[in-house]
Chain A
Amino acid sequence: MSPSDTPIQDRAPAAQAAGQAERSAAGKPALLEVEKMRVEFPTRRGTLVAVDDVSFHINEGEVLGVVGESGAGKSMTGSAIIGLLEPPGRIAGGEVRLGGRRIDNLPYEQIRRIRGREIGMVFQDPLTSLNPLYTVGHQLIETIQTHTDLSESQARKRAIELLAEVGIPAPDRRIDQYPHQFSGGMRQRVVIALALCVNPRLVIADEPTTALDVSIQAQIIKLLHKLCREHGAAVMLITHDMGVIAETADRVAVMYSGRIVEVGPVREVIRNAKHPYTHGLMGSIPMVGHDLDRLTQIEGSMPRLTEIPPGCPFNPRCPKVFERCRHERPELIPVEETQVACWLYDENEGATANGGRSGSHG
């Protein structure tokens, strides 16, 4: 297959430029803007807030990594954007905008058209993501035909191209096989083909390799990254793997207890973590060139949704906690290229902040 066979929207250059600025200077809105989004679960024992006033954006063609401990609300944020929260979960406040258009309050039929067409999604487990009763070709063709006017045979041709693109050998034969006839890695390739089959502008990948064999995780991430770049799709990459973030992401958002505690360019956040939580998170990751005995661990664990303390949710575990953290909730504060939700960086705290920073940087 020659490269010209595949329609590639060339969004990459614009994206790289936009990746530097927080929001493009010309006033053109970012591809995805999430503003003070709040996700709630009404339960018998009161309302649980799984995502609490989260704001971030993703520029065209950019890769935003999302990290945080288990239960931080990463998946909830992803599902909420695409309107797939499991009831009774719901977006209780804030806005989600795609290309400037608000999408969190759309009627069903309109949000359905956005799914797959504008925002693709890749889930964690490729073994269960595909319907076992249909061939992969059927599932690809069905998706392509749902969003385009292609005929059955055109859609099939496109499906075969896609399978070739994601690196499945003998795609014209494999297309008529069932998911169980593919290995885990191959199935995740099929899932990626499905997510990208009508060239969405954004792909939300929720731990796309966690369920896979370690030996093929890197391959799959590389493939996802490469394809999204070629198709000009931005990526929201949810993962636990800081190594993956360091290699693929342009920016990274760190979540804790349903909030974003720090968001900024990847190099900044990794090399020069500002939030004490991020700092602890980076300290707990073994990195090439660092001594293993310098690995640190954050004391305690993330509070359950029912037990989130007032003020900063990290305050009970924070080594730099002070009085204000226990009462007042910090908003994201711009510091250099990053934004960080920590009172250490509030201008009014002046001296404390600087002292805290120079001391925390390792």
Chain B
Amino acid sequence: MFAFIVQRLFQAILVMLVVGIISFALFRFTGDPVNNMLGPEATIEQREALRERLGLNDSVPVQFINFIGNAAKGEFGLSYRVGKPVEELIATTLPATIELVFVSALMALLIGVPMGVYTGLKRHAALSRVFLTVSLIGISLPTFVIGILMILIFGVWLGWLPTFGRQGVVDLGVWQTGLLTLQGWSHLIMPAFTLALFQLTLIMRLVRAEMLEVQRTDYIKFAKARGLRNRAINYGHALKNTLVPVITIMGLQVGSLLAFSIITETVFAWPGMGRLFLQAIQFVDIPVMSSYLMLMAFFFVMINLTVDLLYYAVDPRLRAETLGGAAH
């Protein structure tokens, strides 16, 4: 167990280092930020001062070491666009994105898994057909179309939910949460569902397919032949065996939730990292872009680590393999 975690942590650090190099390279290959920040009228002295402040006069390896060292401390330099430290910008936008993604993932799981189980067990029920048909919509419509439709229906026609922004936020010091007020939720629910819909249908279909698959296995047949109760067979034996692929996909999907959140945040004017990133691209705001890149890489690495640990918890065979089958 311990060796396994150490090994994975080592891999994680390696990945982060590579991403660090790429992020750093962004600075080298995207022109001179000084022009962007100061405009063509600035004097030579002004330019030199800014170059010094941004650390652009150091040698490349020194710049890289400084860059990694600062990143590890959570310092990502000054934004070319707003001239503020990037970590401040992140601190104001990260909670919005994390809460959006978190609630989306939860929705996708809490709705997708039961729907998948239901459609897997009651293959021929009318409701299963409804679920499957509706899920086609979730799979085939692009996120922004769904978002716009939701805004049209619940925001404009029915007038039930606000259509943009994030309000009702409570400041907890380091974290501004929108999860503590009703208003916060009313702003969150639509973008979160929009973002969740694709994953939800994916999970539902995956769980359904896995349930159908598992039900054909010998151990389910044997469990039935032993007269176990339906509930024990379906949830204890069948569902647990579908968990490994669901965990894999969910892990990958949390990553793509982060990626897709850029679109959702734009549609709903959600003040998150995705929007920050889009603005950064328009302005060639390299520090923001590179720190976004690193942060995303960090999230992916953490998610993968979590997925590995979950496998470990669910499947005893993996435990034996990674330990070299010591239990014999």
Give A contacts to B, CB under 8 Å.
Answer: 82, 84, 112-117, 120-121, 123, 125, 128-135, 142-143, 146-147, 177-178, 180-181, 191, 194-195
Contact = CB atoms under 8 A, between A and B. Distances in A.
A130 B241 CA distance: 12
A130 B222 CA distance: 8
B223 interface: yes
Interface string B289-328: 0000000000000000000000000111100100001011
Contacts of B320: 178, 180-181
B43 interface: no
Nearest to A181: B327
A229 to B, nearest CB: 21
Q: By DSSP majority rule, is chain A's interface helix, strand, loop, or mixed?
A: mixed
Nearest to A191: B222
Given A142-B232, A177-B327, A133 B315 contact: yes
Interface of B: 217-219, 221-230, 232, 236-237, 240-241, 314-317, 320, 325, 327-328
Given A142-B232, A181-B327, A194-B222, A132 B227 contact: no
Nearest to A114: B227
Nearest to B244: A133
A71 B230 CA distance: 30
A130 to B, nearest CB: 6
A211 B193 CA distance: 50
B275 to A, nearest CB: 43
Given A180-B317, A180-B320, A194-B222, A142 B241 contact: no
Contact of B226 (A128, A143, A178): A143
A115 B228 CA distance: 8
Given A142-B228, A146-B228, A180-B320, A131 B223 contact: yes
A123 B218 contact: yes
B236 to A, nearest CB: 8
Interface centre among B223, B227, B230 (most CB of A within 10 A): B227
Given A180-B320, A181-B327, A131 B241 contact: yes
A132 B222 CA distance: 13
B237 to A, nearest CB: 5
Given A125-B218, A181-B320, A194-B222, A133 B228 contact: no
A121 B315 contact: no
13 contacts: A116-B225, A121-B226, A131-B241, A132-B241, A132-B315, A133-B241, A133-B315, A143-B228, A180-B316, A181-B327, A181-B328, A194-B226, A195-B225
Given A132-B317, A146-B228, 12 more contacts: A113-B227, A115-B225, A116-B228, A120-B225, A123-B218, A125-B218, A128-B217, A129-B219, A132-B219, A133-B241, A133-B315, A195-B226
Contact of B229 (A112, A125, A131, A134): A112
A130 B316 CA distance: 13
A132 B319 CA distance: 12
Sort A-B residue pairs by CB-CB distance and give the 4 closest, nearest first: A116-B227, A115-B227, A121-B225, A128-B218
B219 A130 contact: yes
B310 to A, nearest CB: 13
A129 B219 CA distance: 4
Contacts of A125: 218
Contacts of B223: 131
Contacts of A121: 222, 225-226
A115 B328 CA distance: 33
A133 B241 CA distance: 7
Nearest to A113: B227
Contact of A132 (B226, B229, B316): B316
A171 to B, nearest CB: 15
Nearest to B327: A181
B227 A131 contact: no
Given A132-B317, A133-B314, A84 B224 contact: yes
A117 B218 contact: no
Given A178-B316, A180-B317, A123 B222 contact: yes
A129 B218 contact: yes
Given A123-B221, A132-B317, A133-B240, A147 B227 contact: yes
Given A82-B225, A146-B227, A146-B229, A131 B237 contact: yes
Contact of B316 (A116, A117, A133, A147): A133
A217 to B, nearest CB: 19
A130 B223 CA distance: 8
A361 B228 CA distance: 49
B300 to A, nearest CB: 27
B219 A128 contact: yes
A129 B220 CA distance: 8
Contacts of B229: 112, 146
Contacts of A117: 227
A131 B227 CA distance: 15
Nearest to B314: A133
B317 to A, nearest CB: 5
B223 to A, nearest CB: 7
Contacts of A143: 226-228
A178 B323 CA distance: 15
